Amino acid sequence: FEECGNGWLGGGLRNRNSTVAVVASVFARNNAVRGAAIHSASGTVAIVGCLVVDNANPVTDPSRLADAMGGAISGYYANVSVSHCTVVNNTGSRYGAGIYAIGGDVAVANSVVWGNRSVEGGDTDNVFDAGYGTFAVTHTLAGRSAPYP
Residue 11 phi, psi (nearest 5): -60, -40
Percent of the residues in the chain that have a pLDDT greater than 90, as a whole number: 45
pLDDT tens per residue, range 62-116: 777 677 778 899 999 999 999 999 999 998 877 788 898 888 999 999 999 998 8
d(CA 37, CA 71): 8
In total, the chain counts a number of residues equal to 149
Average pLDDT across the chain, whole number: 85
What residue type is 126 in one-letter code?
N
pLDDT tens per residue, range 76-85: 999 999 999 9
d(CA 142, CA 7): 28
CA atoms 17, 26, 54, 145: torsion sign:
positive
d(CA 118, CA 101): 15
- Contact between 102 and 78 under an 8 Å Cβ cutoff? The reply is no
pLDDT higher than 60, residue 124:
yes
Which CA distances in Å does 83 have to 32, 51, 128?
Answer: 23, 11, 17
State the pLDDT at residue 53.
Answer: 97
- Contact between 1 and 26 under an 8 Å Cβ cutoff? The reply is yes
State the pLDDT at residue 148.
Answer: 47
